[in-house]
Structure 1
Amino acid sequence: MGRTTGWLTAAALLAGPQAATAQGRPDQRAFFDLYKELVETDTTISKGDCTRAAAQIAGRMKRAGYTTQDITLFSVPEHPKEGGIVAVLPGSDKTLKPMLLLGHLDVVEADPKDWTRDPFKLVEEDGYYYARGTVDDKAMSAIWADTMIRLKAGKQVPKRTIKLALTCGEETTFAWNGAQWLTKNRPDLIAAEFVLNEGGGGRLDETGKRQLLAIQVGEKAAQNYTFTATNPGGHSSQPVPDNAIYELAAAIRAVQGYEFPVRFTDTTRAFFGATAKAQGGEVGGAITRLLANPEDKAADAIVSRDKAFHSTLRTTCVTTLVKAGHAENALPQSATANVNCRIFPGETVDATLAKLKELAGPKVTVTANQPVRPTAKPPALDPKILGPVTRIAAKHFPGVPVLPLMSTGATDGVFFAALGIPVYGVPGIFIDKDLGGIHGLNERIRVRSLHDGRDYLHDLVLAYAG
């Protein structure tokens, strides 16, 4: 997941102490068993098996009372290990459109040689659970499956039909993507009034004190571009100015030095407005001026000292991979770079490509990498969605501010937004300021955060489902 950090720097916001959580409830033990099995099932794209993880969840759901008609396990022959699951809990009120709980089963690659602990063995240590996927996204996926199981086993019939979709391929752009496949091939199966997804979440300070809970309302679009410089090459003993590496380097520096213009959505205006009031001082004043005039370069410079604020304000492009040359004693015949862009809602892949070509100059070709995902469409700040979040958060996390935010990353929500289904990131899982090692080494989640987030999300689902 390209998870956001834009809200994580609002450090001046007020917070309340964390409530104690009993770890010994029978329902918590059943949930932990599901969570542990999911985390310890390797679902990396390189050697993992999402299809196996989906089947394990399906087995638990059937034992809770779901029938084969309620559950759809899906994959394609070309990608037999990248399958997923859709489950349906029918509601009693057919006038209400369904809601969809969305999560992804796949995780970012993790090399055991680099980790302090086995990344595919759940370890509890010093109040944390450690393993790849403990947060992204197996915490939410396990909570969604657990909620569906608890409702069925308890014979609770919601008014609104609840659907669950756990898919594979979210973490890797070139992978087969289950969410995309569902929206293209089985739109009837996942049709819903709205989707609850990853994104957003809670921030803790260094002492574990809750500071902020964010609901994601909109996200950027992730798009990769390839820069290529070519040259006949020759013997390195007779260098010439016309050098593929130098030409590529100049293009990369041009991208590094370019700032895309400041933009706002309704969500980011609300976020920055609240942040300006909370922070005050130089930064708060600069935010206020920038909201009034997005072309205020001096205000932009102050606000953009914070890398998360900087990314929340605009499209960003950064070089992430470089490959050049073919021999140590030869002039390079080719040099390529991958430039990863996070495109602001309302802007397009083609317009960004045009700007990158302009920056790269005539000696470097720039192409948009496939696949090109849908452009992000921010949903509305709908009181029907934000109201329950605020109300349930006040019950579970009293005194903690709730803010809307736009993710600087990207999720599978873009595929559902392309169908006109609004997607909101609602996890009530509080993580440390460093994002708990998500996508990095020694990923972790506080034990208390996981169980408190489960209770919050269960109540939130009940609030939407009636």
Structure 2
Amino acid sequence: MRGWRVLAAAFSLLSAGTASAQNRADQRAFLGLYKELVETDTTLSAGSCTRAAEQIAARLKAAGYPGDAVMTFAPPDHPREGGIVAVLSGSDPALPAVLLLGHLDVVEARRADWARDPFTLVEEGGYYYGRGTFDDKAQSAIWADTMIRLRPLTPRRTVKLALTCGEETTFAFNGAEWLTRTRPDLIAAGFVLNEGGGGRYGANGRPDMLAVQVGEKAAQNYTLTATNAGGHSAQPVTDNAIYALADAVQAIRAHSFPVSFTPTTRAFFAAMVPGAGAETGAAITRLLADAGDAGADAIVSRDKTFRASLRTTCVPTLLSAGDAENALPQRATANINCRLFPGETVENVLETLRRLAGPEVTVTANQPIRPTAVPLAPDPAILAPMTQVAKRHFPGVPVVPMMSAGATDGVFFQAIGIPVYGVPGMLVEGGMTGIHGRNERIRVKALYAGRDYLFDLVKAYAEPARR
């Protein structure tokens, strides 16, 4: 019987998703935009964000946006890494604009690693499969679609759209950074709505939490380098570049940065207490009272999500050593990817890594060096519409402020004084549904539910009136 129940549930999800995609004309139009975006390869190695930006620009102009309200850009030295900015002017210049931010680029995807072509949108078993189906082409498509749907309205508040390239690759040209540095007039806004929030499905398959990101970590890479004179492998010695590097990596593995809190993470952990279980809930309460409580930290940090939300983290992600299989290595390197807690500086983490690595290993901070993440206190005026609209679309599901353990392009906007919020509405499952991995997917039902929620949320901020 259990098998039949699982099969029936799967059929129900598939039917709901298919009906959702086909019943409403506006959903069919959105699916065309979303499909085109997913099927446009925007990887750094072989794709083109510029092409994707031009496709969206064409759709906006077809919807009635004048040419001066839509700008595509691609610096000459990065012709495939372009983006788009669009503006729907409001009637009240006293109201600061809201900026809808997304990124067009995606993580690399090798066809040989995937069960399906990563750049063909496939609907199967109640899911859409494809690279970027969630990160971040779902929200980018929704933002572009929202601008199209708002076009017949006259908002009181100006609504802006910025879809850029380079978010997924630290060393690539970053369109968001370029806009904030060279064209801040284009993206000037009172606040930004971005990725990084969302929510999650519980084990029962129903939404159990909506998350709004209030603040985030900053990503920074460091390089460990061990050097040695080398020699013949037939005469090994303990003075080996790989050994020195391995000792440094082990020291970093054993190190835990101290627990820290922002107003947002305090609110998040307080909200987690009731559902965390007796032991973990009690430990969270102790840790909130005393961030130095090592015993409480050990219990709470068993959960990798909790641990990442409590502190700066550093982890090796790339290793390279040696020149030949029969020679002692003359050089060994490791990339250490760190996620810096708001307020933490690149220089302070560099000093910590140098201390841990020891004198035999050099440590350098890799370029580019991003701005320090800014702690952001939740603004009730921004959060209230998120909660109110959620009551209609996700009745009974709590909206919880959280800090993202990852990093987004929001850090560039916060650096110039524009607060950034990762919106709720796009729900994810356990295991992150292949985001940054193989066979990335999103529930069909989640995509359309998120689209409806986010459109109503932007309308709530824009306060539109019919022409």
- TM-score normalised to structure 1 length: 0.95
Q: Match of 2:311?
A: 314
Is the Cα–Cα contact under 8 Å of residues 102 and 197 in structure 1 kept in the other structure? Answer: yes
Is the Cα–Cα contact under 8 Å of residues 87 and 163 in structure 1 kept in the other structure? Answer: yes
Say whether 1:404 aligns with 2:401.
yes
Say whether 1:430 aligns with 2:432.
no
What is the distance in 1 between the residues matched to 2:97 and 2:267? Answer: 28
What is the distance in 2 between the residues matched to 1:279 and 1:181? Answer: 42
Q: Match of 1:49?
A: 48
Q: Match of 2:444?
A: 447
What is the distance in 2 between the residues matched to 1:58 and 1:206? Answer: 40
What is the distance in 2 between the residues matched to 1:191 and 1:200? Answer: 22
Aligned letter for 2:42? T
What is the distance in 1 between the residues matched to 2:71 and 2:186? Answer: 9
User: 2:291 pairs with 291, 294, 319, which one?
Assistant: 294
Is the Cα–Cα contact under 8 Å of residues 140 and 427 in structure 1 kept in the other structure? Answer: no
Is the Cα–Cα contact under 8 Å of residues 120 and 132 in structure 1 kept in the other structure? Answer: yes
Instruction: Please state whether the residue corresponding to 1:76 is helix, strand or coil.
Output: coil
State the 1:207 CA deviation: 4.1
Aligned letter for 1:109? E
Say whether 1:81 aligns with 2:80.
yes
What is the distance in 2 between the residues matched to 1:150 and 1:274? Answer: 35
Superimposed CA distance per residue, residues 145-179 of structure 1 (whole angstroms, 9 cap, x where no aligned partner): 00100111xx2010000000000000000100000
Q: Match of 1:59?
A: 58
Q: Match of 2:106?
A: 107
State the 1:333 CA deviation: 0.4
Q: Identify the range of structure 1 (286-295 vs 199-208) with the bigger mean alpha-carbon deviation.
A: 199-208
Q: Match of 1:364?
A: 361
**How is 1:32-431 mapped onto 2 (pairs within 5 angstroms)?**
32-152=31-151, 155-431=152-428
What is the distance in 2 between the residues matched to 1:60 and 1:330? Answer: 59
Structure 1 unaligned runs (5+)?
1-16
Q: Match of 2:9?
A: none
What is the distance in 2 between the residues matched to 1:141 and 1:440? Answer: 19
State the 1:440 CA deviation: 0.3
Is the Cα–Cα contact under 8 Å of residues 130 and 440 in structure 2 kept in the other structure? Answer: yes
Superimposed CA distance per residue, residues 329-388 of structure 1 (whole angstroms, 9 cap, x where no aligned partner): 111100000000001001100000000000000000000000001111132210111100
Is the Cα–Cα contact under 8 Å of residues 73 and 84 in structure 1 kept in the other structure? Answer: yes
Instruction: Please state whether the residue corresponding to 1:135 is helix, strand or coil.
Output: coil
What is the distance in 2 between the residues matched to 1:332 and 1:380? Answer: 49
- TM-score normalised to structure 2 length: 0.94
State the 1:238 CA deviation: 1.3
Query: What is the aligned residue count?
Result: 448
Instruction: Please state whether the residue corresponding to 1:87 is helix, strand or coil.
Output: strand
Instruction: Please state whether the residue corresponding to 1:249 is helix, strand or coil.
Output: helix
Instruction: Please state whether the residue corresponding to 2:270 is helix, strand or coil.
Output: helix
State the 1:434 CA deviation: 1.2
State the 1:280 CA deviation: 4.2
Q: Match of 1:28?
A: 27
Is the Cα–Cα contact under 8 Å of residues 197 and 427 in structure 1 kept in the other structure? Answer: no
What is the distance in 2 between the residues matched to 1:464 and 1:456? Answer: 13
Instruction: Please state whether the residue corresponding to 1:214 is helix, strand or coil.
Output: strand
Is the Cα–Cα contact under 8 Å of residues 173 and 371 in structure 1 kept in the other structure? Answer: yes
Aligned letter for 1:166? L
Instruction: Please state whether the residue corresponding to 2:87 is helix, strand or coil.
Output: strand
Aligned letter for 1:313? L
State the 1:97 CA deviation: 1.0
What is the distance in 1 between the residues matched to 2:278 and 2:412? Answer: 40
Q: Match of 1:13?
A: none
Is the Cα–Cα contact under 8 Å of residues 39 and 134 in structure 1 kept in the other structure? Answer: yes
Aligned letter for 1:285? A
Superimposed CA distance per residue, residues 201-260 of structure 1 (whole angstroms, 9 cap, x where no aligned partner): 120124421111000000001000000000011111111221111001100000000010
Is the Cα–Cα contact under 8 Å of residues 386 and 424 in structure 2 kept in the other structure? Answer: no
Identity %: 68
Instruction: Please state whether the residue corresponding to 1:259 is helix, strand or coil.
Output: coil
Q: Match of 1:7?
A: none
What is the distance in 2 between the residues matched to 1:387 and 1:278? Answer: 24
State the 1:310 CA deviation: 0.8
What is the distance in 2 between the residues matched to 1:431 and 1:253? Answer: 33
What is the distance in 2 between the residues matched to 1:429 and 1:58? Answer: 24
Is the Cα–Cα contact under 8 Å of residues 224 and 335 in structure 2 kept in the other structure? Answer: yes
Q: Identify the range of structure 1 (216-225 vs 274-283) with the bigger mean alpha-carbon deviation.
A: 274-283
Aligned-CA RMSD value: 1.3
What is the distance in 2 between the residues matched to 1:147 and 1:235? Answer: 64
State the 1:95 CA deviation: 0.8
Superimposed CA distance per residue, residues 423-443 of structure 1 (whole angstroms, 9 cap, x where no aligned partner): 000040112111111000100
Instruction: Please state whether the residue corresponding to 2:272 is helix, strand or coil.
Output: helix
Instruction: Please state whether the residue corresponding to 2:284 is helix, strand or coil.
Output: helix
Is the Cα–Cα contact under 8 Å of residues 217 and 405 in structure 1 kept in the other structure? Answer: yes
State the 1:279 CA deviation: 2.4
Is the Cα–Cα contact under 8 Å of residues 56 and 144 in structure 2 kept in the other structure? Answer: yes
Instruction: Please state whether the residue corresponding to 2:81 is helix, strand or coil.
Output: strand
What is the distance in 1 between the residues matched to 2:295 and 2:277? Answer: 17
What is the distance in 1 between the residues matched to 2:147 and 2:424? Answer: 16
Could you list the structure 1 runs, at least 4 aligned residues long, displaced by more than 3 angstroms after superposition: 20-23
